[in-house]
Amino acid sequence: MTKLGVNIDHIATLREARKTNEPDPVAAAVLAELAGCHGITVHLRSDRRHIQDRDVELLRETVKTRLNLEMAATEEMIRIAREVKPDTATLVPEFPGELTTQGGLDCVRNYDMISAAAQELEAAAIAVSLFIDPEKQQIEAAQRMGVPIIEINTASYADASLYLTLKTELTAAEALEEIKASAILAGSAGIRVHGGHGLTYRNVRAVSQIPEIEELNIGHNVISRAALVGLDRAVREMLALLQEE
Ligand code: PXP
């Protein structure tokens, strides 16, 4: 079965809409874990638009599965990660004003910077994951860096599968093939493979059936459903899909 990491950023988005103290990401993490998820993911953005430093500190003390901190490879974030010590740090590109993460890291062009950040995190006993597009050169660069995990960006497939055709150049089938080929390449290089971005109850199955992909990180869709049916049910329904053969 494919593991599920639940990204709870949007619980904090709702709280920050009023700059108040509810809903609490810590409570959401507890509920998601009780429903059976395998990990909790949060993205501490440089602009602190949703998750705050205090959330990360509290989650580090309360999460019983695994805490995955998504972060830009900046000095500030590396310092915070080294203090908080999440189980995994997923390095992502971050641009001011973006609605969500736009594409994967460019590990070829920014090799030295990303590699140095990964080494600083690994030195603090934090497993590093690189969020990258499903491209051969990116996987090869990640392999040269010696990182233990990559997270393949599933956005092109996800957008195409939901017929958001204006956003994508590939068909869903073509985008899925790229993800599969990248997962196989990374797996054969001994890199653990995660995936995520844009996945929903409707399109997740094709990705979860790729044997090399151990874990998927899903946020917006699960939290959206949770707003209507409750977090426990939303997480259980996603887990049920990931468990199907
Ligand atoms: N993985 C990464 C690296 C992300 O940046 C995000 C979005 O925060 C996700 C997974 C989850 O994406 P979504 O919210 O579309 O499920």
| Catalytic residue flag (residue 94) | no
pLDDT in tens, the chain (245 residues): 999 999 999 999 999 999 999 999 999 999 999 999 999 999 999 999 999 999 999 999 999 999 999 999 999 999 999 999 999 999 999 988 888 888 999 999 999 999 999 999 999 999 999 999 999 999 999 999 999 999 999 999 999 998 765 666 789 999 999 999 999 999 999 999 999 999 999 999 999 999 999 999 999 999 999 999 999 999 999 999 999 86
Name the token pair of 9: 């950023």
Return the pLDDT at 167.
62
Return the pLDDT at 166.
60
pTM for this prediction: 0.96
Question: What is the rounded (10 degree) CA torsion for 201, 202, 204, 210?
Answer: 140
Residue-averaged pLDDT of the chain:
96
Phi (first) and psi of residue 190, to 5 degrees:
80, 15
**Full residue range of the structural domain in which residue 226 is found:** 3-243
Task: Count up the domains in the chain and report the number.
Answer: 1
Rounded to 5°, angle at Cα 211 from 241 and 188:
155
Beta strands in 92-230 (DSSP E): 127-132, 149-153, 192-196, 213-218
- Mutate-to-test residue for ligand 1 from 161, 197, 225, highest number of ligand atoms within 8 A of CB: 197
Q: What is the pLDDT of residues 106-155, one digit of tens each?
A: 999 999 999 999 999 999 999 999 999 999 999 999 999 999 999 999 99
For residue 43 and ligand 1, the question of a CB distance below 6 A is answered with: yes
CATH number at residue 131: 3.20.20.70
Q: Is the dihedral of CA 214, 65, 225, 70 positive or negative?
A: negative
Distance between Cα 195 and ligand 1 center (Å): 9
For residue 100 and ligand 1, the question of a CB distance below 6 A is answered with: yes
